[in-house]
């Protein structure tokens, strides 16, 4: 055997008799899929760790028997069969067991058309379920403004758990209990709204069934459209135009801007505008904010604030980071403020109520629009938020096919945009749009090349340096919240080299938001992204400062970019959020807990500052001094004072930066003891 033949043998394996090369794939499953062999899976995602729970990707390996292909590293000379009788039988049994305890209300499930379980059951030819269901119906969780959790449809694949932990670094849901009682739950079996969920919806994106889905606002929007006393307008985000077509069977990345506008008007919207208009406005406001901080030794790096999931993450985990966040509202909320200032003078409302509906690729936008700070005198800046998929369903309800609609134009002036505003739909797009403004401002002349390709890509954390007039601007683009950790750590250590940091919760940016049509096509995200860049190229203007309607809007309704009126209406503020509504964990045994409540916070910041050791000492103190019948000692979560931790509450006395000595002194005071 010559050396070339020997090398070839080392680098290939055989799948169903077909010789396939091994090119660095991490498992047999990836090798087979690259060869066009679709081995079924529930729990496998290329961006998540290998879990191997669903047992559907089983294959038969010569000399090894039945194996999970996602968990087996490819080796030279392997001989693998993917479709033996034994493999087929085990897959069918696995699916039947799942179906036996799955809520089979398929016709009314919002994920019916894109349910992986339903698709695989059909593919495996399952016509009967031979196993008896365990009737233990659990209540649905409607607490979140963004998501609905239906435990009865969970198949325990763990996709949501790993996505929330590995890609977002949040861990709002996890496995609980054991054996037949196993379940996926928020912490302490609380509702989603009560834990540290950031509403990004990534869990719903990876969920193969309908256990986690975006919360629908379709009925509320229909009610508004049917009300003759309301004038209803829509704003449409950049990513919607490259995702909506997939709902109607078009190729991923199909640009359907004109048809989407036509569709919205066909179902009753009075006007349709483009969120890219206020994305352009965000560029100017955020660009000026960045330049002011850069020139005047302000707080840097400046974090972007367009992604509400990221903002909530920062408010929960990093109150010390809040001065770094841009004060600009997101384009969605900016549009609400601008529309309520501009439209009443343009449209004859005749006493009718103006209702603003957002069409977004994002579930976190639903939460954002309902925040109290965006509601003034009982009127929200944005009344309702529907996702791309929700709009698709509304069109189907009306019997409309997107491809058959004649294209229509956005209404002016809030429908005019530049390519920079459209770029907000992709990761790195906000940074590139701001650079198109800031670089031109610094160098004092028009940019010849508006493309900043160094900030493009899909790596989790990308770094770039742009040199302007001899000054280096250092940038970071964060793609997925977990990737923000090293950036945050460098800021806290005082070693951050960055001037501007963009953070997007959804890997890939808004084009891959949880509100987009659900797809199993791994290339869809890249195709949507390319469509956004192509759209930028087709527009006449590529820089936000070139938007003539925006300049006119500033002149007529605001006192210039960054002016007093602009700051009042287009900017916001942030506050530290409680990550987990208080859940007290009793630490004393028996029924001898006393009447004086003593709570020790064991949330992240307090824990890192010694609350666990403080709790241990207090437990020993209470026990050694015979205070169990007087003191009820519990561990709790988040007293919303993370900057001065550890926090302890003795009765009605809150102790910040608490020490063991100060806690004991407070105990003595409340109990009337002689100080020790």
Minimum mean pLDDT among 65-69, 465-469, 621-625: which range?
621-625
Q: What is the pLDDT of residue 671?
A: 85
Q: What is the pLDDT of residue 608?
A: 78
Residue 3: pLDDT band with limits 50, 70, 90: very low
**Of 1-5, 87-91, 608-612, which has the strongest mean pLDDT?**
87-91
Per residue in 84-99, pLDDT (tens digit) is: 999 999 988 888 888 8
Contact status, residue 503 vs residue 308, Cβ threshold 8 Å:
no
Q: In this predicted model, which residue has the larger pLDDT, 675 or 639?
A: 639
Per residue in 114-125, pLDDT (tens digit) is: 888 888 888 888
CATH of 218-570, one of 1.20.120.330, 1.10.10.10, 3.40.950.10, 3.40.50.300: 3.40.950.10
Mean pLDDT of 473-500: 95
Q: How far apart are the first and last CA of the chain?
A: 87
Residue 609: pLDDT band with limits 50, 70, 90: confident
Per residue in 185-214, pLDDT (tens digit) is: 998 888 999 889 999 999 999 998 889 999
Examine the pLDDT at 578 and tell me if it is beyond 90: no
**What CATH architecture is 3-83?**
Roll (3.10)
Angstrom distance (rounded) from CA 543 to CA 445? 13
CATH of 585-671, one of 3.40.30.10, 3.30.460.80, 3.60.110.10, 3.20.170.30: 3.40.30.10
Examine the pLDDT at 1 and tell me if it is beyond 50: no
Residue ranges of the chain assigned to CATH 3.30.70.20: 94-214
Examine the pLDDT at 268 and tell me if it is beyond 50: yes
Q: SS3 helix, strand, coil % of the chain, rounded to 5? A: 40, 15, 40
Provide DSSP, 113-133.
GG-HHHHHHHHTT-----S--
Buried-exposed string 417-447: b where 16+ CB fall within 10 A, e elsewhere? bbbbbbbbbbbbbbbbbbbbbbbbeeeeeee
Residue ranges of the chain assigned to CATH 3.40.950.10: 218-570
Q: In this predicted model, which residue has the larger pLDDT, 604 or 600?
A: 600
Residue ranges of the chain assigned to CATH 3.40.30.10: 585-671
Residue 592: pLDDT band with limits 50, 70, 90: very low
Per residue in 342-395, pLDDT (tens digit) is: 999 899 888 899 999 999 999 999 999 999 999 999 999 999 999 999 999 999
Residue 664: pLDDT band with limits 50, 70, 90: very high
Examine the pLDDT at 590 and tell me if it is beyond 50: no
Q: What is the pLDDT of residue 586?
A: 56
**Dihedral sign, Cα of residue 608, residue 611, residue 617, residue 620:** negative
- What top-level class would CATH report for the domain 94-214? alpha beta
Average pLDDT, the chain: 90
């Amino acid at each position: 055997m010559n050396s070339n033949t020997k090398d070839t043998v080392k680098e290939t394996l055989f799948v169903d008799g077909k010789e396939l090369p091994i090119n660095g794939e991490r498992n047999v499953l990836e090798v087979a899929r690259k060869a066009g062999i679709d081995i079924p899976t529930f729990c496998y995602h290329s961006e998540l760790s290998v879990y191997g729970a669903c047992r559907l990707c089983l294959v038969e390996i010569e000399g090894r028997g039945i194996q999970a292909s996602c968990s087996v590293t490819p080796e030279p000379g392997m001989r693998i069969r993917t479709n033996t009788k034994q493999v087929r039988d085990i897959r069918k049994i696995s699916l039947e067991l799942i179906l036996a305890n799955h809520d089979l209300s398929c016709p009314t499930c919002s994920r019916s058309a894109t349910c992986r379980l339903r698709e695989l059951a059909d593919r495996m030819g399952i016509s009967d379920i031979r196993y008896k269901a365990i009737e233990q119906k659990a209540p649905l969780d409607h607490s979140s403004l963004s998501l609905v959790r239906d435990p009865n449809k969970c198949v325990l694949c763990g996709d949501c758990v790993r996505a929330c932990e590995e890609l977002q670094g949040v861990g709002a849901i996890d496995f609980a209990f054991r054996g037949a009682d196993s379940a996926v739950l928020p912490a302490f079996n609380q509702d989603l709204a009560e834990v540290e969920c950031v509403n990004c919806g990534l869990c719903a994106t990876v969920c193969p069934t309908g256990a986690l889905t975006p919360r629908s606002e379709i009925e509320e929007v229909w009610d508004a459209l049917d009300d003759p006393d309301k004038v209803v307008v829509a704003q449409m985000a950049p990513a919607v135009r490259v995702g909506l077509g997939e709902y109607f069977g078009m190729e991923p990345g199909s640009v359907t801007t004109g048809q989407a506008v036509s569709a919205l008007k066909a179902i009753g919207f009075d006007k349709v505008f483009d969120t890219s208009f206020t994305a352009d406005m965000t560029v100017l406001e955020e660009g000026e904010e960045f330049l002011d901080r850069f020139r005047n030794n302000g707080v840097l790096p400046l974090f972007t604030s367009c992604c509400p999931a990221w903002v909530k993450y920062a408010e929960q985990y990093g109150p010390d980071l809040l001065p770094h966040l841009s004060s600009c509202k997101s384009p969605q909320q900016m549009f609400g403020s601008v529309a309520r200032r501009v439209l009443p003078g343009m449209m004859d409302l005749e006493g009718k109520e103006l209702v603003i509906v957002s069409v977004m690729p994002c579930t976190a936008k639903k939460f954002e629009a309902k925040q109290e700070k965006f509601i003034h005198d009982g009127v929200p800046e944005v009344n309702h938020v529907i996702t791309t998929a929700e709009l698709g369903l509304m069109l189907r309800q009306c019997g409309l096919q997107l491809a058959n609609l004649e294209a229509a134009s956005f209404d002016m002036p809030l429908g005019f945009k530049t390519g920079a505003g459209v770029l907000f739909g992709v990761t790195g797009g906000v940074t590139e749009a701001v650079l198109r403004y800031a670089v031109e401002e610094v160098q004092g002349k028009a940019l010849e090349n508006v493309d900043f390709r160094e900030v493009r890509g899909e790596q989790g954390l990308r770094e770039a340096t742009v040199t302007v007039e001899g000054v280096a601007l250092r940038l970071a683009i964060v793609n997925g919240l977990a990737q923000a950790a090293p950036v945050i750590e460098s800021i806290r250590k005082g070693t951050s080299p960055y001037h501007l940091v963009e953070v997007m919760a959804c890997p890939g940016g808004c084009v891959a938001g949880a509100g987009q049509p659900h797809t199993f096509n791994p290339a869809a995200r890249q195709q949507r992204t390319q469509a956004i860049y192509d759209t930028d190229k087709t527009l006449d203007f590529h820089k936000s400062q070139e938007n003539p309607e925006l300049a006119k809007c500033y002149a007529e309704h605001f006192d210039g970019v960054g002016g007093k009126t602009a700051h009042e209406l287009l900017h916001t503020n942030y506050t530290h959020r409680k990550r987990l509504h208080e859940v007290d964990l009793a630490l004393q045994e028996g029924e001898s807990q006393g009447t004086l409540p003593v709570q020790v916070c064991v949330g992240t910041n307090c824990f890192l500052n010694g609350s666990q050791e403080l709790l241990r000492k207090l437990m020993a103190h209470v026990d050694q001094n015979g205070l169990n019948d007087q003191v009820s000692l519990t561990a709790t979560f988040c007293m919303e004072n993370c900057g001065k931790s550890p926090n302890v509450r003795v009765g009605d006395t809150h102790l910040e930066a608490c020490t063991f000595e100060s806690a004991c002194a407070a105990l003595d005071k409340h109990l009337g003891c002689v100080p020790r």
